[in-house]
Structure 1
Amino acid sequence: MQDTRAINRNAVLTALMGSRPASRKQIAELTGISAATVTRSVDQLLAEGIVRETTEIVSEARGRRAVELDIVADRSYVVGVDLGASNTRIIVADLLARPVFASETPTPTTMPEAELVEWIAATVREAAADVWDSVEHVCLGLPGAVSQRDLTVSNAPNLLQVESPTFLAAVQRAVGRAMHFDNDANYALLGEMHYGAARGAPNAAMLTIGFGLGAGLAIEGRILQGERGLIGEFGQLPIGPLGTRLEHMVTGGGILRRAAEAGLHLDAPAELFADDAGPGLLSLRGHFDQALLVVLTATTVSCDPQTIVLGGGIANSLISSIDRYRIALEQNLRISPDIATAELGDFSGAVGAVVASLHAVYAGLGVEEVAIVSLPNGDALTADQVARARSLA
């Protein structure tokens, strides 16, 4: 059980994290803690190197001036990694989510398991470079269902190495930092909720449609995570002819296979959505639309989201159809959430992995759990900020 001193310290830190920068007086007003107690807690946080006094002096009342306090942003760093079947995206950020590095590199999908583990560790260390010694936490998003019970991955046919029962444990040993692993769609949703298209939507969902079909669901700002990582695995639903899985009807590979089975040639899945598609493709498009409507319906009834965000390579081809999908949902359910494409683009997952890493670090610092879900705030990891960090890499 925490003593009163620790409780006050954590309350002061939580208030500052949510309303930074702030003076001692402002923190006292936010927390309801006496000015003397706030001062003692601030002194403790200053001694720990978590908080600093800024050089800016602000007027609080006539005849009085006070120093603002802020978080020591470079006290520690985190790394967010999105390991995809085609590309791996990495962001390194400070304690206030400000990116110092962002990159995208092809994933070496043909590497054996052990080599892929070492590649991930080396790539993370190289990304952090000079700040590696200050990196406290790393989050890695992967395709497939990630079991938090035994740290294993299933349903990742496009990157089979990660399904080895020892893969995640080996990655953690090789990286040598505290780590957390999750499905890439869960991290993508977390990123879009904090810095993208689902901002301001406590109940939200993310559908990533590309090589595979991923889904992330959130209620009251918290990502839903089952023990075996199967929440939102709508791609496994057997809705097609002879039990064809839904994933095979809406993903890039599935579109190409179904076109070939129908005797139609497609050079790329995007051709299915062309305005001048022929009759055969229009029939195939109808099957796609029906399958996607099933996904959207299942997503809506699963968490009653205010917003569903569409990401992944296929999502870019669906922009002109969003209103049609929304109308179809309203006809089926009498309601429809907003449907939007990902504002963070291909970096949604890496941004969300940074957010998850920061949540772990904040908890370790003593930030109150109830407040962590809304942090970090501000505009530190918007698409423009990520693009700027990439340009400097």
Structure 2
Amino acid sequence: MESSSARHFNRAAVLDAVFAEAGVTRAGISGRTGLSPATVSRVVEDLIAEGLLDEGQQIPRTGRGRRSTFLTLGRGVGCVVGIDLGATTCRLRCNDLMGEELRTLRRPTPRGLEVPALVDWLAESVTTVMAESGTSRPLIGIVVAVPATVRDAAIVVRPARQLAQTEGAELGHRLGRALGVPVLLDNDSNLALVGEMATGAAVGCTDAVILTTSTDFDAGVAVNGEILRGRTGIVGEFATLPTGDEQPLRRLLSVDGILDTAAEQGVALADFTDLFDSAPEGPLGTLRRGFVHGLTLATSVATLAYDPQVIVVQGRLQPLVEQVLPELRERLSHVLPAVPELRPSALGGFAGATGAAFVAVQAARTALKDLGSFESWLSPQGTPLDGAGDARAEATGPTDTVA
């Protein structure tokens, strides 16, 4: 008689094979997993009875025996949404559990909304991206990237000033109630790094750092394929590092910091994109040189602390980063014993939403294999925010210019 542990192992192995290959057959599952054809057939029939698998297209018979059919996820197996709630732009990505992108959505983040109104707006955005995807699959969970430290996958700490009202646990709690699904929160740089490791500029890397040069400055760190958070969740908060003039690093490497510095110095900087000129002179040149100095400091600290294979740079200032990369590499070659690969984001503004959707897919798959349902599938411990460095690219995310 099959033990409960054996049943659990066999069930997980069969589902893993289905997730790995769209339209796999019973024979294909047996070959992939090493399970006997009889065991595979028994598990498959149980999963079909539960509604987790469906029989698909029949394969023309080439010999004796039962006609083979492709197996697909059951029509009732739902989909997930990853949200990147940025200070200026919100991006959403809807995925099915095969990891395929169904739809993306990009909207300006509304300003000045208190949490109840912001949650209503987010819930409407999720409903919109689901409707536009054309899927009939139910929503089963959401992962939200926020520009803040996040504790216990639920509590927002020190958010960006444009989203200061999100501090605390109200955002995730209200959004979960509004949509009737589990909601997990994490830092936006952490999730952007997951996205880049899964299907972007850091594919194949287990040790990587991402620098977010956007409205604020932040970083995410992965070592041995796992996102590092630390005891209090502050790993990667390089923005507070003092520079040579005792100003925090965010003053050099964030849009808000650069605009604030320009205003204090009386520099006529109508828009931060003025710094994208190939060789600005005068005060603009000083601000640009400060940016390069800040990048040199941030990449040096990240390299010496974590020895990453690659450092990915993303955010609204990414075009400027791409311009100064040759100079940055030259500077680092003189101050570091080994210089990691320096790469612009391959996913653009959708890196965070891609990582959030990836995490949601992995969490839902784990729950499906372990629990047979999606209840409480997003718990603070054991969520697959980690291991993205070992993941294969499942669906290439959209690339856009960061707004």
Fold match by TM threshold 0.5: yes
Aligned residues: 384
Aligned to 1:34: 36
The alpha-carbon deviation at position 227 of structure 1 amounts to 4.9
Mapped to 2, the partners of 1:54 and 1:132 lie a distance apart of 17
Taking structure 1 as reference, are residues 291 and 150 closer, same or farther at Cα in structure 2, changes over 3 Å only?
Answer: same
Mapped to 2, the partners of 1:382 and 1:58 lie a distance apart of 35
Mapped to 1, the partners of 2:104 and 2:383 lie a distance apart of 30
Taking structure 1 as reference, are residues 179 and 165 closer, same or farther at Cα in structure 2, changes over 3 Å only?
Answer: closer
Pick which of 358-367 and 63-72 moved more.
63-72
Mapped to 2, the partners of 1:326 and 1:48 lie a distance apart of 55
SS, match of residue 90 in structure 2: strand
SS, match of residue 3 in structure 1: helix
Mapped to 1, the partners of 2:139 and 2:193 lie a distance apart of 24
Alignment of 1:1-393 (within 5 A): 2-55=4-57, 57=59, 66-72=68-74, 75-129=77-131, 134-148=138-152, 151-241=155-245, 243-366=246-369, 373=387, 377-383=392-398
The alpha-carbon deviation at position 102 of structure 1 amounts to 1.6
Taking structure 1 as reference, are residues 131 and 223 closer, same or farther at Cα in structure 2, changes over 3 Å only?
Answer: same
Q: Deviations over 1:320-346 (max 9, x none)?
A: 222332333333222222222222211
Mapped to 2, the partners of 1:18 and 1:230 lie a distance apart of 35
Aligned residues: CA RMSD: 3.0
Pick which of 148-157 and 36-45 moved more.
148-157
Q: Which amino acid aligns with 2:398?
A: A
Mapped to 2, the partners of 1:124 and 1:56 lie a distance apart of 35
SS, match of residue 162 in structure 2: coil
**Please, what TM-score do these two structures have when normalized by structure 2?**
0.85
Taking structure 1 as reference, are residues 317 and 335 closer, same or farther at Cα in structure 2, changes over 3 Å only?
Answer: same
Taking structure 1 as reference, are residues 145 and 308 closer, same or farther at Cα in structure 2, changes over 3 Å only?
Answer: same
SS, match of residue 275 in structure 1: coil
Pick which of 267-276 and 365-374 moved more.
365-374
Mapped to 2, the partners of 1:149 and 1:257 lie a distance apart of 32
**Please, what TM-score do these two structures have when normalized by structure 1?**
0.87
Q: Which amino acid aligns with 1:127?
A: V
CA contact (8 A) 2:314 2:345 kept: yes
CA contact (8 A) 2:143 2:183 kept: yes
CA contact (8 A) 1:250 1:291 kept: yes
Mapped to 2, the partners of 1:52 and 1:376 lie a distance apart of 26
CA contact (8 A) 1:151 1:169 kept: no
Pick which of 313-322 and 273-282 moved more.
273-282
Pick which of 247-256 and 38-47 moved more.
38-47
The alpha-carbon deviation at position 379 of structure 1 amounts to 4.8
The alpha-carbon deviation at position 301 of structure 1 amounts to 3.1
Mapped to 2, the partners of 1:134 and 1:150 lie a distance apart of 23
Aligned to 1:390: none
Pick which of 94-103 and 204-213 moved more.
94-103
The alpha-carbon deviation at position 313 of structure 1 amounts to 0.8
CA contact (8 A) 2:209 2:219 kept: yes
CA contact (8 A) 1:11 1:367 kept: no
Q: Deviations over 1:61-120 (max 9, x none)?
A: 987774343434762110111111111111222122223332111111211232222222
Aligned to 2:374: none
Taking structure 1 as reference, are residues 22 and 117 closer, same or farther at Cα in structure 2, changes over 3 Å only?
Answer: closer
CA contact (8 A) 1:136 1:177 kept: yes
Taking structure 1 as reference, are residues 290 and 353 closer, same or farther at Cα in structure 2, changes over 3 Å only?
Answer: same
CA contact (8 A) 2:153 2:184 kept: no
The alpha-carbon deviation at position 39 of structure 1 amounts to 2.0
SS, match of residue 69 in structure 2: strand
The alpha-carbon deviation at position 295 of structure 1 amounts to 1.1
Give ranges in structure 1 of 5+ residues lacking alignment.
388-393
The alpha-carbon deviation at position 25 of structure 1 amounts to 3.0
